[in-house]
Amino acid sequence: MDFTRLKAIIEDTPLHALLPYLEEDYLQGIRHGDFPRWRERLAALPRIQASSISLGDKVSIGDAGDSDDASLQALEQELREFIPWRKGPFDLFGISLDTEGQSNLKWKRLEQQISPLTGKKILDVGCGNGYYGFRMLEAGADLVIGIDPHLAYVAQFWLLKHFTENLPTYLPIYVLPLSLEQMPERINYFDTVFSMGVIYHRRSPIDHLLQLKNCLRPGGELVMESIYVDGEKGYCLTPDKKYARMNNVWFVPAIETLIQWLSRCGFVNMEVIDRSLTNTDEQRQTEWMPYESLSHSLDPADSSLTIEGLPAPKRVVITATRPR
Ligand code: SAH
């Protein structure tokens, strides 16, 4: 990944503290998982380049005319090496990546409700392969930085970005292999910070909220998306072990509890902008995510319960402001 341009953008901003994370030394130092192997694969990707990009519901990079058949076949093979593809959908040179999640549906539920992104600098915490970041560009963002410690997803984004380097317009979007906890103190920079689908994975949700606030400029907006369960203010579910097959779920709050957490952390203007129930059309097994999916996480006889017999997840989006 070429970070030359990003380095120039952040040099004279509070984000300069991120510069060490853009160095080859840092990336080389990430030894765990398959990261070194993926980096090798990325370096050997077909040399084709997209002539166009379309940032709609399906993020389409290039079209079949940009490539010869042999390169397309090689690309399709290569894309399979990066399975599972969870967030999307994408289309690459006519190859349709039907991802597990129809992430466009989540985006549709919130895009009209949040502060306009035109000209904004945005941080997407837990960005996965960057699908929403592309949608943020579509909405006119000036800069999108996604962070995610899960290297497989970072590698997917780098793969996608690889094919966009020769577009006539520069795409100011980056994904860095970082967790929010690694962000330096006193960033106070981003106009909008997204945390979607992350907080219930955190052992310390309050620290998560404080770290999100640290990244926002005063007056900036947090977009918090989480699963929730029904309950009074103060209630929150801590699963004994697994929740909907996930073994890294710690706190699933009631909506009022989440609002209370936000308030305790100093956010104001909390507004519930969407509540929804993910169904098995929105999140399902596909050719590009051939493993178990949502339907395997719910009680087959009663979809209001998880497979463990706990209340099934519902989803909420809340916007909140960091006071000036
Ligand atoms: N935001 C996407 C993806 C949600 S999946 C969406 O809403 O669809 C949750 C993601 O959060 C995973 O990719 C996981 O790797 C990431 N994540 C977990 N803990 C994190 C942390 N501490 N900092 C940043 N990302 C984190």
Q: Is 196 in the pocket of ligand 1 (CB under 6 A)?
A: yes
Helices of type H across the chain? 4-10, 24-29, 35-43, 69-81, 103-111, 131-138, 151-162, 205-215, 255-264
Nearest ligand 1 atom to alpha carbon 127 = 1
Q: Is 135 in the pocket of ligand 1 (CB under 6 A)?
A: no
Q: Is 198 in the pocket of ligand 1 (CB under 6 A)?
A: yes
User: Within 10 A of 8 (CB to CB), how many other CB atoms are there?
Assistant: 9
User: Within 10 A of 198 (CB to CB), how many other CB atoms are there?
Assistant: 20
* Contact call for residues 119 and 312 (beta carbons, < 8 A): no
Token representation of residue 188: 């106070």
User: Within 10 A of 200 (CB to CB), how many other CB atoms are there?
Assistant: 23
Can you give the pLDDT at residue 36?
87
* Contact call for residues 175 and 203 (beta carbons, < 8 A): no
Token representation of residue 257: 């509890």
Ranges of residues in the chain with a pLDDT under 70 are: none
* Atom 5 (ligand 1) nearest CA: 197
User: Within 10 A of 12 (CB to CB), how many other CB atoms are there?
Assistant: 8
Can you give the pLDDT at residue 153?
95
Question: 45-56: per-residue pLDDT in tens?
Answer: 988 999 999 999
Q: Is 193 in the pocket of ligand 1 (CB under 6 A)?
A: no
Strand partners, 121: 143
Can you give the pLDDT at residue 66?
95
**Amino acid in the structure at residue 302:** D
Half-sphere exposure of 125 (CA within 13 A, CB side): 29
CA 147 – ligand 1 centroid, Å: 8
CA 218 – ligand 1 centroid, Å: 24
Report the C-alpha gap between 304 and 280 in whole angstroms. Answer: 13
Q: Is 153 in the pocket of ligand 1 (CB under 6 A)?
A: yes
* Atom 3 (ligand 1) nearest CA: 128
CA 227 – ligand 1 centroid, Å: 13
Q: Which of 286, 281, 317, 296 is nearest to 246 (CA)?
A: 296
Token representation of residue 75: 């690309």
Eight-class DSSP state of 13:
S
Q: Which of 296, 286, 312, 302 is nearest to 245 (CA)?
A: 296
Q: Is 207 in the pocket of ligand 1 (CB under 6 A)?
A: no
* Contact call for residues 313 and 275 (beta carbons, < 8 A): no
Can you give the pLDDT at residue 37?
87
* Contact call for residues 214 and 183 (beta carbons, < 8 A): yes
Place of tokens 């999140």: 283
Q: How far is CA 197 from the centre of its chain?
A: 8
CA 314 – ligand 1 centroid, Å: 17
Report the C-alpha gap between 149 and 309 in whole angstroms. Answer: 30
SS3 90: strand
